Chains A and B, each alone.
Chain A
């Protein structure tokens, strides 16, 4: 049996009625593959993992995998995940969100989860658009681009999810693309192994909505764009600022040691019992 078939048999839900909801060519499938490969490599037991998501195309991911899975309300995945993690700290909690889910409706929860440095691994698939509802602009739709609600072009400025995470206090932030699948495996693994709030921003494409309205071509062409515009952090360091103008950096953006909420709260428990000053 091929390696990939073994992984499919091991981690996908046999009793879930496939096919999945995603369009052919969607990047979320690549993310799902990377997630499963990374989890398998790290050797977590399936009972140990809780996969939490919000609403949207990306939010549908957990239903297909054989873990403890929790498909929450729009934007609120991190709040549910916070409760799960604090109630049972031995569980590995992975949160999967889309760009609209994570930084529009869930933006406040995102910055506060990062600030608290709760031990959660957060993976945000950024395809610059609300796909499930038909292609409306999101906080990561670039200025000047079209969507079904910015048909005369977008006059708002987009968020950098990764930079937001760094500023808000995340312990680990990485950015990858669905084109660079190997790097994605590595980033997810590093993020999962990091104790503290870790974020992986996954640049993806929505050829069905965003690509079509902006005439960016097929899924393959949009992935080629990712290949041509993503620069590894190492390479970016050697490039001139003007050459980096329309590029974005991929790799580990920050990896720092910060006090983790659960450890700090354990001290509070000891203090409350008079066991520690």
Chain B
């Protein structure tokens, strides 16, 4: 029977993440129970064995990401899902996945913090942790859905990016988007899956951490004839530990370069009525939904308001943000934290646009009215 090209589904954000992961080819999940990410574990524990995949509940989040990295090295696309406290624990092995260049996907359904914080009210306070949570200098890729549809699409993107760039990809979903239900239409024809590039040279010629024109070395899976060393130590092109300055520097720079060469591919977002906007809202996650409403309401009143929605939070969408900073008089960054993205926006602002924040940290969402009130306040 031919597979139906179009599918209509009513899904919760977390369910859409599961569906996206399975569609992307995820066949291994290791996790530890935590709200509001639990549904991802529960559903995958049911669905993965049906497709000959593996679900395992580990003893903590450190172990979960360890197992995910192990599975990926053995050639199976793998994912874990957690929330703030668990994401803190994962930082250690996140650094390992970065330095050893192991593809994997980490979902962080954000709730209020610090520490046990606010289970389980929505928040967007892990933006900076996704960027700088693990120690050392490193690149980061973090995607942020604001609709159920984007949960599905961005999860597929997350797997694709992780396989393509050999870097862990973080999905920063907030509790609102994770738990809301929407109808989504999946069009099979639109979906593209990227699998890691394997070496084609014979094993004795294989250089596992070789610099290539794309800055991304081919990846051999364990057990396929290419025996090599994987380590969390800074290593030379053969994967062996090194402390030689002339080997360390090119390695660290390559890690950054492989991401920075590909901003065009990784940066995902939407300009919504920004062409003539005097006031532009920069928003992400559930706040982008409120912001869109604000734009529509404002336009009805004749106010020239637009929205730049960020779906990629890291690497930061500098070009898109600079564009709206150039064209707008006022930029407002509403976010459910004390100003993690607005800080970046201010940092890169070289124009005359004024950047205003709108911060909500009481566990409640930012409403269209909140944003409208802020617009009135600053204009």
Contacting residues, chain A, for B49 (C-beta < 8 A): 265, 268-269, 271-273
Q: Are A272 and B46 in touch, CB under 8 angstroms?
A: yes
Partner of A63, one of B58, B69, B241: B241
Nearest-neighbor residue (CB-CB) of A105 within chain B: B62
- Asked whether any CB of chain A lies closer than 8 Å to the CB of B295, the reply is no
- In this complex, how many residues of chain A approach chain B with their Cβ under 8 Å: the count is 43
- Asked whether any CB of chain A lies closer than 8 Å to the CB of B68, the reply is yes
Q: Are B70 and A84 in touch, CB under 8 angstroms?
A: yes
Contacting residues, chain A, for B68 (C-beta < 8 A): 83
Nearest-neighbor residue (CB-CB) of B27 within chain A: A87
Contacting residues, chain A, for B270 (C-beta < 8 A): none
Instruction: State the CA gap A48–B27 with chains docked (Å).
Output: 21
Q: Are B229 and A87 in touch, CB under 8 angstroms?
A: no
Contacting residues, chain B, for A265 (C-beta < 8 A): 49, 54
Q: Are A71 and B231 in touch, CB under 8 angstroms?
A: yes
Q: Are A76 and B54 in touch, CB under 8 angstroms?
A: no
Contacting residues, chain A, for B92 (C-beta < 8 A): 73, 76
Contacting residues, chain A, for B180 (C-beta < 8 A): none
Q: Are A63 and B62 in touch, CB under 8 angstroms?
A: no
- Asked whether any CB of chain A lies closer than 8 Å to the CB of B227, the reply is yes
Contacting residues, chain B, for A112 (C-beta < 8 A): 58-59, 63
- Asked whether any CB of chain B lies closer than 8 Å to the CB of A229, the reply is no
Q: Are B67 and A79 in touch, CB under 8 angstroms?
A: yes
Q: Are B222 and A76 in touch, CB under 8 angstroms?
A: no
Q: Are A273 and B228 in touch, CB under 8 angstroms?
A: no
Contacting residues, chain B, for A84 (C-beta < 8 A): 70-71, 73-74, 222
Instruction: State the CA gap A265–B50 with chains docked (Å).
Output: 11
Query: What per-residue 1/0 map shows which CB atoms of A9-44 lie under 8 Å from chain B?
Result: 000010111000000000000000000000000000
Q: Are A70 and B230 in touch, CB under 8 angstroms?
A: yes
Instruction: State the CA gap A70–B64 with chains docked (Å).
Output: 17
Q: Are B238 and A80 in touch, CB under 8 angstroms?
A: no
Instruction: State the CA gap A84–B78 with chains docked (Å).
Output: 11
- Asked whether any CB of chain B lies closer than 8 Å to the CB of A216, the reply is no
Nearest-neighbor residue (CB-CB) of A69 within chain B: B229
Instruction: State the CA gap A273–B241 with chains docked (Å).
Output: 45
| Main secondary structure on B side of the interface with A | mixed
Contacting residues, chain A, for B54 (C-beta < 8 A): 86-87, 265
Q: Are A47 and B225 in touch, CB under 8 angstroms?
A: yes
Nearest-neighbor residue (CB-CB) of A79 within chain B: B66
Contacting residues, chain A, for B241 (C-beta < 8 A): 63
Q: Are B227 and A67 in touch, CB under 8 angstroms?
A: yes
How many inter-chain contacts with C-beta < 8 Å in the A-B complex? 144
Interface hits, A235-274 → B, CB 8 Å: 265, 268-269, 271-273
Contacting residues, chain B, for A63 (C-beta < 8 A): 229, 231, 240-241
Query: Which one of B46, B60, B71, B222 has the highest number of Cβ atoms from chain A below 10 Å of its Cβ?
Result: B222
Contacting residues, chain A, for B232 (C-beta < 8 A): 55, 71-73
Contacting residues, chain B, for A83 (C-beta < 8 A): 28, 30, 66-74, 78
Nearest-neighbor residue (CB-CB) of B65 within chain A: A79
- Asked whether any CB of chain A lies closer than 8 Å to the CB of B165, the reply is no
Query: What per-residue 1/0 map shows which CB atoms of B213-251 lie under 8 Å from chain A?
Result: 000000001111101111111000010110000000000
Query: Which one of A13, A78, A84 has the highest number of Cβ atoms from chain B below 10 Å of its Cβ?
Result: A84
Contacting residues, chain A, for B221 (C-beta < 8 A): 88
Instruction: State the CA gap A126–B239 with chains docked (Å).
Output: 27
- Asked whether any CB of chain B lies closer than 8 Å to the CB of A90, the reply is yes
Q: Are B28 and A86 in touch, CB under 8 angstroms?
A: yes
Instruction: State the CA gap A68–B93 with chains docked (Å).
Output: 19
Contacting residues, chain B, for A71 (C-beta < 8 A): 229-233
- Asked whether any CB of chain A lies closer than 8 Å to the CB of B96, the reply is yes
Contacting residues, chain B, for A62 (C-beta < 8 A): 229
Chain A nearest CB from B177 CB (Å) reads: 28
Query: What per-residue 1/0 map shows which CB atoms of B44-64 lie under 8 Å from chain A?
Result: 001001101010101110111
Seed contacts A47-B223, A73-B93, A78-B66; 7 additional CB < 8 Å A-B pairs: A17-B240, A69-B230, A76-B93, A79-B62, A79-B63, A83-B73, A87-B72
- Enumerate the 5 nearest inter-chain pairs by beta-carbon distance, A residue then B residue, closest first: A83-B70, A79-B66, A83-B67, A87-B74, A83-B71
B: which residues have CB within 8 A of A? 27-28, 30, 46, 49-50, 52, 54, 56, 58-60, 62-76, 78, 92-93, 96, 221-225, 227-233, 238, 240-241
